[in-house]
Structure 1
């Protein structure tokens, strides 16, 4: 019989005197599972890291490095935090990290995450996910999520293609891999708005060298918005081969499918402004027969690590990923809007034309990344040298077609005070994609981490060559560009004491904007960050990172207000401020999470002088997260866990011209769980007080709002055997 740390009442009462000391040492003294003393047939297991604190990361430097030795903010969300808070989406998990935007599930096909105000890349097992709008990633097999704040120069430059580069930072997801431990987990959930689903994680050693693992999930739910639903299907098989200490090979496959009904949000009139009329929060401005939108991702990822000698290791990462998006949507254009449905104004009670479009995109990416890592000494200095190349080739084919050629799906207007929506009109599409884009990234990099006494230095340089072939005959686009750039990354950490350190770092990033329509070849977008901060490492149970940052971005691709449907590069933007991330293990049973950011994110240079000084779209000046959890470990309540949190955001600009703001909000969440034997039952509540408010949507670049998620309750049951 195996007993997890949280399998409490009967066994703990019977064997308290014999196992309490061992269990506490295992849970809070850093002892790994294989080091725990066995008492007969009882085995006490614990996580590798204590509570919510992760001691080292590889995502921040591409080599396993203690967090306190990295001269840049790197914050981790471990598996334990995801499970304790009942996170359903990547956005749910990332609310525990400062300075990352929240994404509403109804907006997930339109937006990527922003870190410190600028777009980020989402990397899964070392490979950037392109075009799948990453809040739709599954968490079922996520072992940890590392957030790297700011451009990383010599780190992930190959992700500079596809429009979602590392200008603001990187979200690196590491999935669970096969191991030599037999594991059987299955879970079920049911909740508000018809939510239901199941997930599983099965790991099986095949022999001392081989192991197989498969994780998956199935979930369905409706929403507050009329007819809008969410479906997810995911399957992640993996196989590992570890014949000895010198060789390790892991093969991962992935299949992920999300389906929903496209939602174009609601106009400001009738929501934020109710002086003329009021729209119900559940309003969905769409035909009753609108086809669903699907987002399918599949891929294969192979990682091989080989020890060459005592000093050098070779690694090879190769992957193929394919994303297919099929999105059909409708929205309203007032009587002043131009034909083609390429723009819309504030909706009025009458004379609103309903427009429709279908966007289909198929993105295929091949990745090849060999590297060498060496550990050696020169005099008093200890080096970790990493060098390698990244090659990435992306094929991006797509179609954008409008209902009835120009957009309107019916000659009849829609009156939002008494709406009668016309039936869907399927756009006519040709067999040849409208756009046929090709992106090729060739990169070479060199990085050295040097430790000398209390000093830890990092220096790296990356040479990137990115070629873009952007062809869109329907729009008269035929742009070919080739851009090269050296991006450095430098920094230093000084340990004042074993628990307190100071750090400073500088990094640059670049990307060639894509997935946008330009009338001429675009210039590379570039970003630079200077960061100064300090860290606490388990000081009276507190682990924290506090950083001041100055992050700039130039040659930014935004919508062209004078030419709807096209993009322009509008000068320079800057985000400057302070963010704080703290984890406090107050007692072995009581943990706290705090995340706070204050920043000024604005346009500093633009061809349109009226935009200078405007706050960046959908980027707040202040955000905060405070959460706590208490797990009863003894007595009659042993096995019970309670959690409570709040998330605050300052007002949000609804457009790049700041024509309106959504109000500041504070939203509460709560969790309750009970663990007995191999079962864990949970109750998770989002928006505990059922606060009614709106947030900006990114549909067509903003200008409308989404009614934020109402109170939702989810009951869960998870079993291990």
Structure 2
């Protein structure tokens, strides 16, 4: 919550305070001597109040709506909070939202975020990003992140296609756009683990109706894990044309390149179970000379908003996005087990065979979404009607090839107590991808938001037609289907006072499953959510949402007991519990954040009776966060900001059979910053007490663990010109 101070006499007073200079100098000395983590841009801002509270969002309804009028849990993280906490990744941002399962950077190519126990989609400027690796987004150009909880968040394009779903909800990112304000910002960061980087934000008006903006990031970092590194290159140019108050066109381009070394986690023997031996946390079970894993995303997004008359307005979103992943990985199997390279662990704890594969994916998605919004009034009822059409076409080319054709990199066993890893054996790539999937989605929708006095109603219908062509002869997959379904959404809000309201909502979602061998063409996987909650709006400085939810997922693909190797859609999973998200502005200088979740997330139906009642993989029963930030706004310490937080989760299931759990844990973080005129110095610490613990790894959907991030410290300098 730092602010600019341009009074020269005040500047001289601040410069004269040797205590402050000593404090900042000491902080930077510590930063270079200890461990570091990546950090997005930190901007210099004017004095502010209530920066942690977002008053209206469009992510939940596709129209700009006050949060307290929406009958569903929607939690926002604004730019101010991202900056003040020194967030490095999207996962760091989402720790400030209840019931979101976080993702370790080493797992970022293997899993998406979970909300309320189920997978979610990442939406950037109204377009769903495709793939199981959508959490790499750079924070350098992020204006706001909105989390919409539940399947009724399936509002953008043809999500719910193939391997992408919105059962848990969506993580909606809004990026910065060009404006008529001149902006010149430059940031630097340094720390341990070899971290270094720079970022910039330049906005330039070209005329009274035209503006250009460019943001970018370059960062490098090693990690606690041997040989694992992170490189990020990002560039986001944009152009805004506003010829009149009725017309606005924004063109955004994106280029995002993430490079790392694949990491498959560690076995539970030697980590959670140290009765036989102890495995060093830095261990990386990987072939020698393993090639890098690359993830490149590029695209174009065009948004046109046109006010037609006093009642109606028109909008058009059209986008093209392309993602290419080239992942080479190695992992261990028991040398005495059947081949297949899908089992992790060993009956002989320290003796294993190393297996490897190359997974390559190239996705191209075209999106077109026109819509009309009308503001009408009939008597006391005010209607906001939104109707439109979403067209989305995804081409998904992939292959997965094992080393040496069967997966074994080398038949020489690896002894983890004295490892000697064999050289990488590059699989022979096919001339054409053996998996060439096509997903075509056409969605028509209508939504009405009605305001009548203290009542606020919402009702919508979406008709989705989804064609799936998921054919992979090498794996025996032949899923060709054409499914259509209407999914409703209804809800109401009653405002007892302008500061206290009660809401209730019901919504449905759908997904067409893929990547399994079905005995019959797949039918839609369905999800439903019922939610009841209470909201506070700036009640003694407190803005909060407390919600009870019941979320069910059915027609889940599970193993066919009558046909081994095939799947049937007979599974059912359920998550129910309570979420709390609270922001308290105790004073203009002092802000608090609190989140809490208590839930039961489990398998309720499965062909394997032993799985019924099992806790969903990597979903805690309880989680919480408490954080505070104080910015000195007057006196000798003006410009100094201090932050402290703690994040907690209960034990985490390491696989779907619940054969092991990682322990519950609480981790502290801290921040200190000092703003002086056009500069801001910062020091950000994650895992303040350097707690050593493990979390489940998502590699091959569980079965192993990842050593959680140790204490990491980053020193930053951000300048505004």
CA spacing shift, 1:366–1:559, aligned 2, 3 Å: farther
Cα offset, 1:213, TM superposition? 0.3
CA spacing shift, 1:107–1:365, aligned 2, 3 Å: same
SS at 1:404's partner residue?
A: helix
For 1:383-532, list aligned pairs within 5 A: 383-516=383-516, 518=518, 520-532=520-532
CA spacing shift, 1:564–1:124, aligned 2, 3 Å: farther
State the distance in 2 between where 1:249 and 1:492 align.
34
Corresponding position of 2:333 = 333
Partners of 2:11 and 2:676 within 8 A in 1? no
Q: Does 1:159 align with 2:159?
A: yes
In the superposition, the TM-score normalised over structure 1's length comes to: 0.93
Partners of 2:584 and 2:593 within 8 A in 1? yes
Corresponding position of 1:181 = 181
The one of 2, 5, 8 aligned to 1:8: 5
State the distance in 2 between where 1:663 and 1:9 align.
50
State the distance in 2 between where 1:141 and 1:185 align.
12
State the distance in 1 between where 2:481 and 2:489 align.
26
In the superposition, the TM-score normalised over structure 2's length comes to: 0.93
Cα offset, 1:558, TM superposition? 5.9
Partners of 1:199 and 1:218 within 8 A in 2? yes
Corresponding position of 1:554 = 554
State the distance in 2 between where 1:717 and 1:568 align.
55
Partners of 2:500 and 2:534 within 8 A in 1? yes
Deviations 1:215-236 (A, max 9, x none): 0101110000000000100000
Corresponding position of 1:22 = none
Q: Does 1:582 align with 2:582?
A: yes
SS at 1:658's partner residue?
A: coil
Corresponding position of 2:649 = 649
Cα offset, 1:523, TM superposition? 2.4
Greater CA deviation, 247-256 or 411-420? 411-420
State the distance in 2 between where 1:388 and 1:338 align.
53
SS at 2:474's partner residue?
A: helix
Corresponding position of 1:601 = 601
Cα offset, 1:429, TM superposition? 1.1
State the distance in 1 between where 2:413 and 2:232 align.
35
CA spacing shift, 1:586–1:599, aligned 2, 3 Å: same
Count of residues in correspondence between the two structures = 691
State the distance in 2 between where 1:562 and 1:406 align.
27
Deviations 1:495-548 (A, max 9, x none): 000100000000001111235555643222111000000100000000000000
Partners of 1:342 and 1:565 within 8 A in 2? no
Cα offset, 1:335, TM superposition? 2.4
Deviations 1:71-100 (A, max 9, x none): 000000000000000001000000000000
State the distance in 2 between where 1:345 and 1:145 align.
38
State the distance in 1 between where 2:563 and 2:323 align.
29
Cα offset, 1:50, TM superposition? 2.6
Deviations 1:46-74 (A, max 9, x none): 58973200100011100000000000000
Corresponding position of 2:376 = 376
Corresponding position of 1:359 = 359
Corresponding position of 2:615 = 615
SS at 1:82's partner residue?
A: helix
Q: Does 1:245 align with 2:242?
A: no
For 1:296-311, list aligned pairs within 5 A: 296-311=296-311
Partners of 1:7 and 1:676 within 8 A in 2? yes
Cα offset, 1:345, TM superposition? 3.6
Cα offset, 1:337, TM superposition? 2.8
CA spacing shift, 1:287–1:374, aligned 2, 3 Å: same
State the distance in 1 between where 2:85 and 2:517 align.
40
Q: Alignment RMSD, CA only? A: 2.0
State the distance in 2 between where 1:347 and 1:682 align.
49
SS at 1:135's partner residue?
A: coil
Cα offset, 1:685, TM superposition? 0.3
State the distance in 2 between where 1:315 and 1:686 align.
42
Corresponding position of 2:635 = 635
Corresponding position of 2:29 = none
Cα offset, 1:192, TM superposition? 2.2
Cα offset, 1:157, TM superposition? 6.0
State the distance in 1 between where 2:423 and 2:708 align.
27
Cα offset, 1:561, TM superposition? 10
Corresponding position of 2:234 = 234
State the distance in 2 between where 1:256 and 1:181 align.
26
SS at 1:136's partner residue?
A: coil
State the distance in 1 between where 2:139 and 2:386 align.
30
Partners of 1:194 and 1:221 within 8 A in 2? yes
Deviations 1:183-230 (A, max 9, x none): 011101111211111111110000011000010101110000000000
State the distance in 1 between where 2:298 and 2:558 align.
30
Q: Does 1:133 align with 2:133?
A: yes
Cα offset, 1:421, TM superposition? 0.6
Cα offset, 1:568, TM superposition? 5.5
Q: Does 1:62 align with 2:62?
A: yes
Partners of 1:157 and 1:462 within 8 A in 2? no
Corresponding position of 2:665 = 665
Corresponding position of 1:19 = none
Corresponding position of 2:22 = none
State the distance in 2 between where 1:560 and 1:56 align.
47
State the distance in 2 between where 1:203 and 1:266 align.
45
SS at 1:544's partner residue?
A: strand
Cα offset, 1:379, TM superposition? 1.1
Cα offset, 1:557, TM superposition? 3.8
Corresponding position of 2:80 = 80
State the distance in 1 between where 2:359 and 2:342 align.
14
Partners of 2:111 and 2:132 within 8 A in 1? no
CA spacing shift, 1:117–1:238, aligned 2, 3 Å: same
State the distance in 1 between where 2:563 and 2:55 align.
50
Partners of 1:495 and 1:501 within 8 A in 2? yes
Cα offset, 1:133, TM superposition? 1.3
SS at 1:635's partner residue?
A: coil
CA spacing shift, 1:376–1:415, aligned 2, 3 Å: same
Bigger relative CO (Cα 8 Å, ≥ 6 apart) = 2
**What residue ranges of structure 1 are gaps of 5+ in the alignment?**
17-43
